[in-house]
Structure formats: C-alpha cells, structure tokens
Amino acid sequence: MDTFPATLLALAITAPIFVGLILLAGRDLPRSFASGFAFGGFAIPAVLGPWLLILWSNPSTAPQQFQSEGFWGFGFALNGLGAPLLAMTSLVGLAAGIKALTQEVEGRNTYLGLILFMLGGTLAVFGTNHLVGFYFFHEFALIPTFILTLFWGGEGRRPAAMQMAIYLTAGAMASLAGILIAIDASGVEYGVATFENVAQGLQNAKSIPAATGALVLFGLGTLASLFPFHSWAAPGYSAAPTPVSMLHAGALKKFGLYGIILLGLSSLDITGGSLGTWFLWFAVANVVLVGLICLAQRDLKQLLSWSSVAHMGPIFLGIWVCGVSGKADGLDAAAFLMVAHGLSCAALFLLANAVRARAGTYRLDELGGLATRTPILAALFIAATMASIGLPGFGNFWGEVGVFLALRAQPLWLQALVASTVILSAVYALRAVASTFFGPASEALEKRFASAPFGDLGWAERFAAFVLLGASLTIGFVPSLITKSVNPVAAGITTFSQHNAKAPVKAAPAVPTQR
C-alpha cells in the first residue's frame, strides 16, 4: 500500500501543531523568525489540504491509503466527507494566519501559536476516523479558542468567552455522553471505534438507549449553533479576534455537523419520531427566526455572526431531509454548503475587520461611503457577500439550491419557509453592503480620513481574500471537486439509515445495557 497520502495527511495536521508548540515555547523568538515559521505552519496545510482532496477524489487511490497509525491508537484517516472539509479548513487557516500575521498584538508569538493549535486541532477533527479522537481534537481546538477570545478579543470579550465556554462545554459533554453510549451500544472496542465500525455495530445492536440520538443531536447541535442552543455563537464570534472568528465560524463549527452526519444520521435515527420533529422545527427556526434576528442587527460584525448562525439552517435541513426521505441529495447538498459556507464566512469576517481597521467602527449607522476610498475592499466584500447569499458561480449556490431541491417532496409551505432565506439573507446582507460602502461618505469617516488617511486593502489581506473567494469560485464552477468525494459517503449513509428505518429502534431501557 502506498503510504504517501497518509504521510501527507499526517504532515498537514501535525505541521501547525508542531510550529505552534515552538512558538508557545519560544515567546522571545525574534519577530521575523517567528513570522516566517508561523507562515510555514499556516501554508503547509493549505498546500496539502487541497492536494489531499484531489488525491481522494481520484478513484485509483484507495481510502486505506489515507490512514496512518498516529499516536496512542487514534491515528489519522481521511473519509470522503472529511476530505473537502479538511481542504476548506486548511484554506481558511491560511487566510486566518495571514490576517493574524498582519496584526499587531501583545504576546504575538503566543497568539500565533494558539491560532496554529486551533488550526491543527480543527484539521485533525476532519482528519481522523476515530470517534474518540474526533472528540478529543475538537476540545484540543476549542480550548485555544476560549483563551484567544478571552485575552485578545474585542469589546465584551469576557462575558462572551464565558458564555461560549459554558455552552460549548455543556454541548461537548452531552455529545461526549452520546458518543460514549453509542460506542458502548455498538459493542466496538474503543481502540477501533471508528465512525464506520460504530455505525456498523449499531446496525447490529440489539438496543440503543433512547436518549443517545438526542444527546448527539443536541450536544453536537449546540456546537454547530442549532436553535435554540445558539446564544453563544453571535457574541462569541463577535468578541473573538478576527482570525479566531474565521476559523471558528468557518471551520471548527462544522465539527458538530460532521458528527451529526457521521454518527447521528447514519445510525441513531435522529430524524425519526419526535426527535426528528424537534430537529425539523429547530432547523427551520435557524432559517426564519435567526434570519429575522439578523434583520435587527445594527453592527456589522454582529450581523455576520448572526448570519453565520442563520446559514446553518439549510445545512441542518439538508441533513434532516436526507434522513426523512432516505435520499442522498440533501446530504450531498448540506456537505457542499458546509464547505462553501466556511469559505465565504471566513472571507466576510476577514474583510469586515479591514472595514473596522479603516472606519474605526463596526456600527452600520456610523459607516457609509467607504467604497470611494477603498474600491478593492468594497469589491471583495461585495463578492464575499454575494457568495454568502448564494449567488451562482460561488460554492454556496450549489449547497443552498441543492437543499431546496432535496426538500421537493415536503409540503410547499415548508419549502417556502426554508427558501425564504434567499430573501431574508439578501435583505440583511445587501443592507450591510449599502450602509458600509455605498452612499456619500459619512461625516465621521471623512473626519477620520482627514486626520489619518487610510489606504485600500493591503496586499496580504488581498491575497487572503483571494484564496478564500478563489476557492469558492473554483468549487462553484467545478462542483464535482466536492461531490466526487462526498457522493459515496452520502450514498452509504442513506443505505444505513434506510436499514434503520426498516427496523425501528425498540423502546430502550433507562439504563444502558451492558454487553
């Protein structure tokens, strides 16, 4: 077996962690050395991630080739859903890294090191097949997220970090309980508790405790900001430093969805019975209620944070409809949207910060007319906005439209509620564009420009935005880049969940049965 892909995977994940360790250890490292080193830590995965995705889509490369032994038993492995998410994460990581490198902060080396930890952990989440490893790496990425928010965050960072910590810990605990119960019920040894083995084991399990699905769905749902467990998300992203918001909202948050798909949807019947009904209504609330909340936002970063919550709605619904209909289309579309949203959302956080760096504020009523001064920033921001509201050409379009089409057999009112996102998102996103960039320049802005003239977007940030938007355009024009690796996974899960639907879960005993 060719171990080359496995080596690439291991390198992509460990490189940022390794560099991060060095930067944490050496806080007095000279600036230029630290910068170069950190850039390497961000750039290596960004080269390897897309490469791995292409290798993965190539039918001649067997999936086993992406597995490595790793340390302590939970080695790295790449599956068809993880591959595009890993590639996306690596690009978001590069953009976030470039942003971080341009920032002037105290304790710069520690800051960069922690961001690299976060990146490495997130990459590992999608680069492992082991359920425990999957959970472990999420925590591994989440802890630096708290710390970064707490110490380098913006306005309101303490309560936000605190709230985020409580929510995410609670969510993680619930999902950990769900994961452990699921592994237990599947009868698989911990050492080999991969997604496939556990799913297989659960097919043959005599009984699965009733609460398992709920624990997994709502535990992981909290981490992916499923309504009504979303309250942490908007303040959390808003208060976090920009590279952290990019990585968290863009990439790390997809952890929850990834787990819901590979564990919940495939073997815990989360879309059946009353749990499925709750799932549906919560997901619809993500689209409609959170969409309405977005309309009420008066602050650019708050708006982006909220809209990032709202955009989870179609993803949840794609997952839901896959379970209900037993067809793979919804899941394919949801996975596509997970990747595309990561790119557009990171680009928006990046560019919004560039707005603030110039205008000195995120408040929409104090912004205005920035496009005359910074045409390139404006053009890129509009492009990112258009990507996020699903303009064809960008990846998000396929995901959103795919979810709408997958819902075709559902009642028309439900389809209309979900599709209302095309109007809601256009309203709040274009309003933000207009009040930030269009119209005459606000007085405050002109004063600021007169006292300290600012230039257009710098080359580093321009490059970062190009990476993200370029990737979104690439998958927009060549959607098969994503679907080639996702299709088999979605088809496989559909077969599994259909099997489940045929043999409904029996009322489970209150106490997990021991094997």
| Window 339 to 378, contacts with another protein (CB under 8 A) | 369, 371-372, 375
Nearest CB to another protein, comparing residues 68 and 222: 222
Residues in region 408-437 near another protein by CB under 8 A = 408-409, 412, 415-416, 419-420, 422-423, 426-427, 430-431, 433-434, 437
What is the number of other CB atoms lying within 10 angstroms of the CB of residue 75? 18
Q: Residue 198's Cα: distance from chain center in Å?
A: 24
Tokens for 214, please give them.
């709920």
Nearest CB to another protein, comparing residues 92 and 161: 161
Nearest CB to another protein, comparing residues 427 and 508: 427
Nearest CB to another protein, comparing residues 2 and 189: 189
151 binds another protein (CB under 8 A): yes
Residues in region 46-105 near another protein by CB under 8 A = 72-73
Nearest CB to another protein, comparing residues 11 and 24: 24
140 binds another protein (CB under 8 A): yes
| Residue of 11, 29, 162, 177 that binds another protein (CB under 8 A) | 162
| Residue of 284, 402, 457, 465 that binds another protein (CB under 8 A) | 402
The minimum distance between CB 330 and another protein, in angstroms, equals 7
Show the site string, 444-483: x = touches another protein by CB under 8 A, - = not: ----------------------------------xxx-xx
Per CB under 8 A, the segment of 35-43, 137-145, 264-272, 451-459 that binds another protein is 137-145
| Residue of 117, 134, 255, 349 that binds another protein (CB under 8 A) | 117
Q: How many residues does the chain have?
A: 515
User: Are 222 and 167 within 8 A, CB to CB?
Assistant: yes
Nearest CB to another protein, comparing residues 341 and 484: 484
Angle between helix 312-325 and 300-310 (nearest 10): 0
Distance (Å) of CA 328 to CA 283, 341, 375, 421, 496: 19, 20, 42, 22, 11
What is the number of other CB atoms lying within 10 angstroms of the CB of residue 504? 10
Nearest CB to another protein, comparing residues 343 and 406: 406
**Percentages of the chain per state (helix, strand, coil), in multiples of 5:** 75, 0, 25
Rounded Cα–Cα distance for residues 184 and 178 (Å):
10
The minimum distance between CB 147 and another protein, in angstroms, equals 5
Residues in region 218-277 near another protein by CB under 8 A = 228, 230-231
The minimum distance between CB 368 and another protein, in angstroms, equals 9
The minimum distance between CB 245 and another protein, in angstroms, equals 19
Rounded Cα–Cα distance for residues 139 and 144 (Å):
9
Judged on CB neighbours under 10 Å (0-12, 13-18, 19+), 170 is middle
195 binds another protein (CB under 8 A): no
Count how many Cα atoms sit within 13 Å of the Cα of residue 272 in the half-sphere of its side chain.
Answer: 20
Rounded Cα–Cα distance for residues 425 and 187 (Å):
45
Nearest CB to another protein, comparing residues 66 and 397: 397
> Cis (ω within 30 of 0) for the bond into 228?
yes
190 binds another protein (CB under 8 A): yes
Judged on CB neighbours under 10 Å (0-12, 13-18, 19+), 449 is middle
Of 474, 321, 483, 314, residue with least CA distance to 387: 474
Q: What is the DSSP string of 267-292?
A: HS-TTSHHHHHHHHHHHHHHHHHHHH
210 binds another protein (CB under 8 A): no
Show the site string, 487-506: x = touches another protein by CB under 8 A, - = not: x--xx--x------------
Nearest CB to another protein, comparing residues 23 and 48: 23
Per CB under 8 A, the segment of 3-11, 38-46, 387-395, 443-451 that binds another protein is 387-395
The minimum distance between CB 316 and another protein, in angstroms, equals 17
Rounded Cα–Cα distance for residues 71 and 77 (Å):
12
The minimum distance between CB 142 and another protein, in angstroms, equals 10
Per CB under 8 A, the segment of 8-16, 56-64, 243-251, 439-447 that binds another protein is 439-447
The minimum distance between CB 301 and another protein, in angstroms, equals 16
Rounded Cα–Cα distance for residues 269 and 174 (Å):
17
The minimum distance between CB 427 and another protein, in angstroms, equals 6
The minimum distance between CB 507 and another protein, in angstroms, equals 28
Q: Give ∠ CA 205-211-215 in degrees, rounded to 5.
A: 110
Q: Give ∠ CA 236-113-5 in degrees, rounded to 5.
A: 100
Nearest CB to another protein, comparing residues 159 and 273: 159
Nearest CB to another protein, comparing residues 423 and 506: 423
Nearest CB to another protein, comparing residues 192 and 210: 192
What is the number of other CB atoms lying within 10 angstroms of the CB of residue 409? 10
Nearest CB to another protein, comparing residues 48 and 182: 182
Judged on CB neighbours under 10 Å (0-12, 13-18, 19+), 85 is buried
DSSP 76: B
327 binds another protein (CB under 8 A): yes
SS3 128: strand
Rounded Cα–Cα distance for residues 262 and 55 (Å):
22
